[in-house]
């Protein structure tokens, strides 16, 4: 009997496919998310837009909040650790969190090295903007990927850019001849063996969710249309006028992302979505996607 194998870690992410993972900051929000049909919740101290507004150093959530959320729901609970913060990740693992997000939403603890995620029993999800970044994280042991997007902005443009980029690069690798792959690995900064595996499989070896800017049911459906395996919604739900309705609508739009009449119906009378931000209004230092490599 073996725990923490790649199959067990990646399989856990496979079970989340077609679903929505919602950011929550307390037990009450976690229950609302579960009731609305979320496949998992991300336990946080603050949602990304509040982290952005608060400034300063953003760290792992208070373990009391994580514990409160774990006790409130029966669906899986995820939590974020800072990039490269071995101890935060170990603490979350010891608490029995089901998945850890090594996340650029928090202030990085290490600007050079990401976690060696294969050392852990708990699985990890990491953000990526392109196939090089995606395969480096898989190489370190990430069992699930997500786009970085630009968290806390309510602006989908960066998530779209990252999803399209990764998928275009996967298609390119799949169509290459084997003798071209080493050069592609050099150009992308990608592990050679992983590019070979992608060529064999015809796709990434782990699931890739959309994250970072999903604010409406249509945004969630758009990301599914572009090939996302599922959707993370951060600030979008609990910063909207009617979180309960919003959460349900985003779940439905993700399942039936090509049923436009349904999306039109559920998008009526939702109230306002979170207020969005224009990406160009953010200075380079304020873009969370620039954290990590």
Partner 1 sequence: MTTIGVLGLQGAVREHVRSIEACGATAVVIKQADQLQSIDGLIMPGGESTTMRRLIDLYGFMEPMREFAKAGKPMFGTCAGLILLSKEIVGYDEPHLGLMDVLVERNSFGRQKESFEADLDVTGLDQPYNAVFIRAPHIVSAGPSTEVLAMHNDRIVLARDGQFLGCSFHPELTDDHRLTKYFVEMVEAAPVSV
Q: Is 235 annotated among the ligand-binding residues?
A: yes
Q: Pick from 74, 177, 280, 283: which binds partner 1 (CB under 8 A)?
A: 74
Per-position x/- string for 76-105, each x denoting binding to partner 1 as judged by CB under 8 A, each - no binding: x----------------x--xxxx------
Cα torsion angle, 144, 147, 148, 151, sign: negative
Listed ranges 44-52, 53-61, 216-224, 251-259: which one lies at the site for partner 1 (CB under 8 A):
251-259
- Beta carbon nearer to partner 1, 123 or 154: 123
When binding is defined by CB under 8 A, the residue of 71, 121, 183, 272 that contacts partner 1 is 121
Strand pairing partners for 124?
100
CB of 85 to partner 1, least distance (A): 18
205 binds partner 1 (CB under 8 A): no
CA 286 to each of CA 49, 54, 74, 83: distance values in angstroms, whole numbers, following the listed order: 12, 12, 36, 16
- Distance CA(64)–CA(44), nearest Å, equals 11
Report if residue 280 touches partner 1, rule: CB under 8 A.
Answer: no
Choice among 9, 17, 31, 80 that is catalytic: 80
The C-alpha atoms of residue 224 and residue 129 are separated, in whole angstroms, by 17
* Residue 163 binds to partner 1 (criterion: CB under 8 A): no
**Judged by CB under 8 A, does residue 184 bind partner 1?**
no
Q: Note if 9 is an active site residue.
A: no
Total chain residues near partner 1 (CB under 8 A): 37
- What DSSP element (H or E) covers 22? strand 20-24
Decide if 253 contacts 263 (C-beta within 8 A): yes
Closest CA to 210 of 251, 248, 172, 162: 162
């Amino acid at each position: 009997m073996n725990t923490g194998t790649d199959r067990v870690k990646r399989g856990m992410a496979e079970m989340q496919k077609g679903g929505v993972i919602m950011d929550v900051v307390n037990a009450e929000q976690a229950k609302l998310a579960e009731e609305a049909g979320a496949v998992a919740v991300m336990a946080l101290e603050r949602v990304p837009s509040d982290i952005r507004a608060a400034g300063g150093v953003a760290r792992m959530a208070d373990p009391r909040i994580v514990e409160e959320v774990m006790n409130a729901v029966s669906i899986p609970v995820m939590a974020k650790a800072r990039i490269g913060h071995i101890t935060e990740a170990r603490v979350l693992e010891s608490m029995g969190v089901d998945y850890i997000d090594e996340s650029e939403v928090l202030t990085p603890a290490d600007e050079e090295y990401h976690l060696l995620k294969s050392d852990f029993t708990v699985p990890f999800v990491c953000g990526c903007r392109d196939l090089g970044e995606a395969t480096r994280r898989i190489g370190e042991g990430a069992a699930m990927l997500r786009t970085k997007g630009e968290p806390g902005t309510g602006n989908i443009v960066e998530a779209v850019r990252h999803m399209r980029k990764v998928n275009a690069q996967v298609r390119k690798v799949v169509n290459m001849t084997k003798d071209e792959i080493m050069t592609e690995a050099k150009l992308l900064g990608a592990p050679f063996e992983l590019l070979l595996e992608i060529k064999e499989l015809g796709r990434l070896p782990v699931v890739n969710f959309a994250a970072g800017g999903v604010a409406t049911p249509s945004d969630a459906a758009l990301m599914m249309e572009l090939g996302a395996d599922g959707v993370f919604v951060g600030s979008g739900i609990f910063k909207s006028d009617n979180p309960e309705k919003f959460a349900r609508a985003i779940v439905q739009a993700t399942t039936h992302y090509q049923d436009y009449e349904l999306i039109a119906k559920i998008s009526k009378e939702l109230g306002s979505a979170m207020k969005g931000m224009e990406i160009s209004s953010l200075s380079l230092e304020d873009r969370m996607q620039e954290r990590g490599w």
